[in-house]
Structure formats: C-alpha cells, structure tokens
Amino acid sequence: MPAPPTTGTPEPPRRTRRGDERDAQIRAHATALFLERGYNGVSIDDILREVGGSKTNVYSFYGGKDGLFLAVMEATIKELVQPMLQVRVTGLPLEMGLLTFAETLLSVLLQQRHLAFQRLVIAEALRHPQIGSSWYANGPAATHAILERFLREQQALGRVRPQIDPAATAVLFHDMVIFDLLNRAMMAIDGGPTQADIAATIRRAVEITTMAIGTPAQ
Amino acid sequence: MPAPPTTGTPEPPRRTRRGDERDAQIRAHATALFLERGYNGVSIDDILREVGGSKTNVYSFYGGKDGLFLAVMEATIKELVQPMLQVRVTGLPLEMGLLTFAETLLSVLLQQRHLAFQRLVIAEALRHPQIGSSWYANGPAATHAILERFLREQQALGRVRPQIDPAATAVLFHDMVIFDLLNRAMMAIDGGPTQADIAATIRRAVEITTMAIGTPAQ
DNA sequence: ATAATACCATACGTTACAGTATCTATGTAG
DNA sequence: CTACATAGATACTGTAACGTATGGTATTAT
C-alpha cells in the first residue's frame, strides 16, 4: 500500500490557544514593522523581540520570512479595502455621488497606513508579483467597479449622456481625484497635501466631470 | 598660523583619465543594476565585478554605497525628464496639443527604465526623501507647468473658457492620462497595458477634457 | 627621470541576519 | 495521571555585505 502523497509544504502543526494568541501578536507586530521599515528593514528577531515567543512559530507556520510577509500583506489588503466596499452612493444625484465617492476614497488612500502599504507593494512588486495583482484587483479595480455601477445607474436615469462609457469614465474620474494628491503624499512634498488641497482637487474633478458627461438639463 | 578649515566631507582626489573612464563605467553599471534589482539587491562588489576597478573608486568619490546611489538617481532623473522638456505644442489646436502632450508623456513613463526608476524612488523615499522631492519637482511638476502654459495660451486665443483654471486642469488631465496605465504597468497586470489600451485612454481623456473646458464654438 | 599620487587587487574585521538544532517548559488528549 | 505534541529560549552555522587596510602598479606633474 503506497504511502500517502507527500505534500510539498509540510503541514503546519495544529495550534494550542497560546499558539493562536502568539500568532495574532506576531502578525500584528510584523505588519506594523514591515509597513514602517520595509521588508529588508525588519528581521525576524526584530519582530519576536517585543512580542516574545520564538522562531519556531514563524518557521513552522509560515515557512520563513517570505511566507509571513505574504500573509500579512494579504490581510492588510483586505483591511484597507473595507471602507471602500461600504460606500453608499446609489440614489444620490450625480454631483453628490461623485463627491461622496471621492471623499471616501481619499480618506482611505491618504492615511499613513495606506501610504506605507503602497510603498511596500511597489517596492516588492518584482519579488512578489502576486501581491501587486492582488492589490490591483481588490483595490483600484474594485473601486472602479463601484463607480462604474453608479455612473451606469445615472445614465439609466438620463442624468449622464448616453454616448458616455461608464467604465472608462469611472477610471478617469478615479485617477483625477487620486493621483497628484497621492504622489505628493508619497513623496512627502511640503509635508503632503493639506485639507484645502484635498477639497479643491475634489471640487475641480467633480466639476470637470459633470461638465463633460452630465446632460445639459441637469 | 591656523590650519585651513577642515571641510566636513574630505575632498575627493582629483582624477586621472583612467579614473574618469572607470567612473563612467561604474555609474552606468550601478544605474542598470539598481534599476533592475533595487538598492538592497545590489552590492558594491556586484557592481565592480563586471566593471573592474576597485572599491577605492566608490569610497573615495562617493563616500559609500548611499552616495553612489544618490548620484546615479539624480542623473537618471535628468535623463528621463529630457524628452518631456522638448515637447512642442505651442500653436497647435487644443485637441492636437493635448494629444501630442499625452503621447509624449506616456512614451516616457511606460518605458521599462522609467517603471524601474519609479519603483526605486518609491521604495527608497523614506530613507532618501531628497530623491522623491527632486523627482516630483523635475518630473510631474515640470510636466504640469508645460501643459499649464499651453492651456493658458489656448485660453488667450478664446479656445478655452475663461473661467477655467489652467493650472488645476493641467494636473487633472495629466493624472487622467497616466495613472491607471502606470498602475497596471507597475503591477504588471496582464503584462501591462497594450497599445490599444494606451490609445483608448488618451482618446477618452482628450475627449472628456475638451468637452469640459473647450468653448462650444470650437 | 623621478617623486607624488591616483588606481587596482585583494584580504580582513565586523556586523547582521536567515534558517536550523537542541533542550526545556507548558499545555492537551486519552 | 501519563504521554505526547506544541511552544519557548537560545545557541549555532553559514553567508553576505559594508567599509577599511595594505602592498603593488599605472599615470601624471615637475
């Protein structure tokens, strides 16, 4: 009788309650440190020094530093995306919808946690392409879809000209709102954009978009 | 008689012709390797292995790995920005000007060299903020200014509505054209955007912008 | 020509860190 | 209560890389 097939990665041992608690601490600390100092700026010993526990935890469950990194990055994607999935624009007038969308988006993307995350994704995109794909699919692409649905709805109500492509317009509006502010925040130009910068950018993006796609009557 | 004031950084030795040639090789190779593998992925020995020469060169002229890195990054900024500074849109009709601008911009930003550069700037922005500032000032900000000048000119000719703010519009158009394409290229989504994606994005951005800011007669 | 100095090759000291091994302590199942 | 698996502490190994030192070779200036 043949032995059961050997799995490529050996099964991690099942955990005790203590193990679960340690693991949660390790993940939380690892996330904070990676975001703060980057992948190479953090050693496994750094993580464990403050948390306690031992390398056994990391190596038997994640296989190594890379495994731990991937796990915490995936979790951070889910966490960051959360507020965007809860934005409610259905039923609002065109301008109000765009405004609400833009404000929610920027409140997520300009927070320090996201800026650090973005840096990390980009820095490691070559070594870990799956993180980049996962982020694009769950972040920007998901956000595009939400706005596209709203624009389509507005179009059905006759508030957006029929010849407009909702998908393409969603991307353009999204980019107008985000890019320069994000760029400046990432490069820490003059300490990043102010609340006034943010408000002005949103106002202008909404203005230019409604002028271009809204039906004249509106 | 007092000794001459000791300068903070000791003067680098003056170079011989051989030294100049070596230095050029070292910079070229260092640039290629940093762009390909990131700061931490390259050791000084890696650079010198293929070029020849010795560590003396790096340490006596740049003070260390960081100094060399800063020097090659500054040079790369200048090199990348070059084509954008030469774009000529003055005198063109509004649509043609926007089109030309967008095409030139994307031809620079979507090339592999720039993608790698962008990754590097972002990854190292925390440790070397001056690179980020320098890039923003010489890249995006300079590009904004070129487009702003064009829009102002169009406004003077009555082709852009008087109430439009050229500076703000320049930023928005710039962002619309770039962001999603750059994002997808950086994350290597489906191997990056195709020529068709690029053409479609440019067309839509020009369309939405002229609709929003152009004078109706036009 | 020769003295001074820039450059080369290479070895060395040091530090940092990934990953492994080992032994002890602590839970957990039967 | 006993046996066994999980978790902890820590020592150890191997490797990589920064930055320095040294002794020899080419280049330049006088």
Tell me whether B199 touches chain A (CB under 8 Å): no
**Range B1-29 average pLDDT:** 72
Are A140 and B172 within 8 A, CB to CB? Answer: no
Among A131, A176, A178, A190, the strongest candidate for a mutation testing the B interface, having the largest count of B CBs within 10 A, is: A176
Nucleotide nearest to A54 (CA to C1'): D8
Are B169 and A119 within 8 A, CB to CB? Answer: no
Question: How many beta-carbon pairs under 8 angstroms link A with B?
Answer: 119
Tell me whether B187 touches chain A (CB under 8 Å): yes
pLDDT beyond 90 at A126: no
pLDDT of residue A68: 98
pLDDT, greater one: A75 or A17:
A75
Q: What is the pLDDT of residues B41-51, one digit of tens each?
A: 999 999 999 99
Mutual angle of helices B166-186 and B195-213, in 10-degree steps: 160
- Chain B residue numbers touching A125 (CB-CB < 8 A): 119, 186-188
Tell me whether A192 touches chain B (CB under 8 Å): no
pLDDT beyond 70 at A189: yes
Nucleotide nearest to A20 (CA to C1'): D7
> DSSP string covering chain B, please?
-PPPPPPSSPPPPP--HHHHHHHHHHHHHHHHHHHHH-STT--HHHHHHHH---HHHHHHHHSSHHHHHHHHHHHHHHHHHHHHHT---TTS-HHHHHHHHHHHHHHHHTSHHHHHHHHHHHHHTTT-HHHHHHHHHHTHHHHHHHHHHHHHHHHHTTSB-TT--HHHHHHHHHHHHHHHHHHHHHTTGGGS--HHHHHHHHHHHHHHHHHHHB-TT-
pLDDT of residue B4: 39
pLDDT beyond 60 at B207: yes
**Range A96-105 average pLDDT:** 98
Query: Which of the 30-89 residues on chain B come under 7 Å of nucleic strand C at their beta carbon?
Result: 52-57, 60
pLDDT beyond 90 at B16: no
Closest approach of B18 to chain A, Cα-based (Å): 36
pLDDT beyond 70 at A127: yes
Closest approach of A12 to chain B, Cα-based (Å): 31
Nucleotide nearest to B52 (CA to C1'): C8
Please tell me which of the candidates B119, B171, B211 has its beta carbon nearest to residue A123: B119
pLDDT band per the 50, 70, 90 thresholds, residue A192? confident
CA distance linking residue B76 with residue B124, whole number of Å? 15
- Chain B residue numbers touching A132 (CB-CB < 8 A): 186-189
Q: Is the shortest CB-to-strand distance from B17 to strand C under 7 Å?
A: no
pLDDT of residue A174: 98
pLDDT of residue A8: 42
Tell me whether A77 touches chain B (CB under 8 Å): no
Are B188 and A213 within 8 A, CB to CB? Answer: no
- Per the prediction, chain B carries an average pLDDT of 92
Please tell me which of the candidates A172, A184, A189 has its beta carbon nearest to residue B208: A172
